[in-house]
Amino acid sequence: MFNKVVVANRGAVASRIIRALRTMGIRSVAVFSDADADLPYLKEADEAYRIGGPHAKDSYLNQEAILAVIKETKADAVHPGYGFLSENPAFARQVEQAGATFIGPSSRYMEAMAHKSEARKLAARYGMPTGAGSDVLGDAEVEIVSEARRIGYPVLVKPAAGGGGIGMIPAYDEDELIKAVARARSLANRSFSSSQVYLEKYMERPRHIEFQMLADRQGNVCHLFERDCSLQRRHQKIIEESPAPCISREEIGKMADTITEVVRRIGYDNIGTTEFLRDQEGSYSFLEMNTRLQVEHAVTEEVTGIDLVRAQIESAAGKRLSDIIRQPVAVKGHAIEARIYAEDPLQFIPSPGKLLVFRPPGGEAIRVETGYAEGNTVTTYYDPMIAKVIACGDSRQEAVKRLVESLQNFEISGIKTNIPFLLFALASEEYQQGSIYTGLTNELVNRMKQTAEGIKNG
């Protein structure tokens, strides 16, 4: 097992990893930018090192600075968390060349899954359910139009090197298609330094279902069931839960077994998540595989009892899956996570500022993950997520009730948050009934605006 691990991240995930390392008796090394120098989890780490200025490129994306910390502290492993360098194969190789272990899958799997179009082809070759799509598009309009006709409108234009929903644009006819391709290429080039895009069949009112996978270095793979992440804003998840409501356990079991066999045949060797869109008839289409810990990992931890961060570390250290998970895994109860963002609840525009009051809720079956404390400042330099609240219950109804109560009791002032929208969404008839889909947020925002306008004019 490792002796000392550099936590190459910030905020809630850094705090979570440091906590896991402490329970495992492993020394932790935190890194921080100038903007994060007073965050509370830095005191929880055994050591903490400044790695640069507030901009991510100068700190959390500064590979040389992090590698220097590895060398100075004589750390034997690096945990990248999620975001930043967590899916960067070049960084993973540099860590290994420095004599340390990258806590994640081997770099070849990160490379294989980083290019979304190529990942789809690889997954399909091994038998993963994959909907209609194209290879990377060329420049000729006639070929682009031909591919869209073959797939069938509507289609979704997607960056091949993308993520986080950036640059994903639907097109319902040829006129929209050409404009969407041009815009998506521009956004992709600006965001990912690659203008490559491809097409997928665009599903109407789909569910976003993902399966948590865990593998070891000896070729063993298991699944830890599913999460429903259908409630999203700008293609980014805001509420996640497990089990997925209104889907039979038989359907989930068959899908999970199929995916496990595909991931095993590919040879995958650490934690990962396979993401799918599910249409209203129950057909699945592979989206991507995230080769890292997910933001929403706590949902799976709560219903399975498996510490995913610990499991990921043990797998990277060479433990066999049978030694990491010692009993059959089953889903018990229900868990729901809500992401708390420092942003306007209707416009989803970041709301930076000082946390004049920051008092997370407590109570039975409530878990809060955060990297902030009262008096800290939420800056404009990073993602505006400031906390995650996870509520559990014997039933979905009980978990929803506890989540609503905890959000109502989360005291925050000095900034705006998305809590009013989360409460509105959780109270909606669609959410209460489990009739959720990826475009529901837009409808709920419009309803919330109308409600607010009605009260204003009341």
**Each residue's pLDDT tens digit, 203-225:** 989 999 999 999 999 999 999 99
Architecture of domain 4-103: 3-Layer(aba) Sandwich (3.40)
Task: Give the residue-averaged pLDDT of 175-186.
Answer: 94
Among residues of the chain, what percentage have pLDDT more than 90? 89
Q: Is 292 a catalytic residue?
A: yes
pLDDT(164) > 60: yes
**Which segments of the chain belong to CATH 3.40.50.20?**
4-103
In terms of Cβ atoms closer than 10 Å to its own Cβ (0-12, 13-18, 19+), residue 388 is: buried
Which ranges in the chain are annotated with CATH 3.30.1490.20?
A: 130-201
With bands split at pLDDT 50, 70 and 90, how would you rate the model's confidence at 424? very high
Mean pLDDT confidence for 114-118: 86
Q: How confident is the model at residue 163 (pLDDT cuts 50, 70, 90)?
A: confident
Superfamily name and number for 130-201: ATP-grasp fold, A domain (3.30.1490.20)
Per-residue pLDDT band at 336 (split at 50, 70, 90):
very high
Give the pLDDT score at 234: 82
Query: Mean pLDDT across the stretch 226-234?
Result: 95
Helix (H) or strand (E) run with residue 19 in it: helix 11-23
Residue-wise pLDDT tens digits, 121-144:
899 999 999 988 899 999 999 999
Place 455 in a pLDDT band, splitting at 50, 70 and 90.
Answer: low
Looking at residues 349-373, what average pLDDT do you find? 97
- Is the pLDDT reported for residue 116 higher than 90? no
Q: What are the structure tokens assigned to 259, written together?
A: 């995916």
28 Cβ contact partners less than 8 Å away, ≥ 6 residues apart: 4, 5, 7, 17, 18, 21, 22, 44, 45, 46, 47
Distance CA 1, CA 323 (A): 13
**At 215, is the secondary structure helix, strand, or coil?**
strand
**Which pLDDT does position 235 carry in this prediction?**
83
Task: Report the pLDDT averaged over residues 281-288.
Answer: 93
Q: According to the model, what pLDDT value does residue 165 have? A: 76
What CATH topology corresponds to 207-457?
D-amino Acid Aminotransferase; Chain A, domain 1 (3.30.470)
pLDDT of residue 458: 57
pLDDT at 415: 98
Q: Is the dihedral of CA 410, 415, 418, 420 positive or negative?
A: positive
CATH 3.30.470.20 domain extents, the chain = 207-457
End-to-end C-alpha distance for the chain, whole angstroms: 64
Instruction: Write out pLDDT tens, residues 39-73.
Output: 999 999 999 999 999 999 999 999 999 999 999 99
One DSSP character per residue, 391-409 reads: EEESSHHHHHHHHHHHHHT
Cβ neighbours of residue 187 under 8 Å, at least 6 residues apart? 159, 166, 167
**Average pLDDT of the residues in 298-312:** 98
Single out the catalytic residue among 233, 292, 339, 367. Answer: 292
The closest alpha carbon to 246, from 228, 264, 229, belongs to 228
pLDDT band per the 50, 70, 90 thresholds, residue 452? confident
| Short-list 364, 357, 368, CA closest to 417 | 357
Q: What is the pLDDT of residue 456?
A: 58
**pLDDT > 70? residue 454:** no
Q: How many CB atoms lie within 10 A of CB 397?
A: 11
Residue 306 has pLDDT above 80, yes or no: yes
- Residue 453 reports pLDDT greater than 80: no
Distance from C-alpha of 270 to C-alpha of 109, rounded to nearest angstrom: 10
Q: What pLDDT was estimated at residue 94?
A: 97
pLDDT band at 261 (very low <50, low <70, confident <90, very high): very high
pLDDT, residue 35, reads: 98
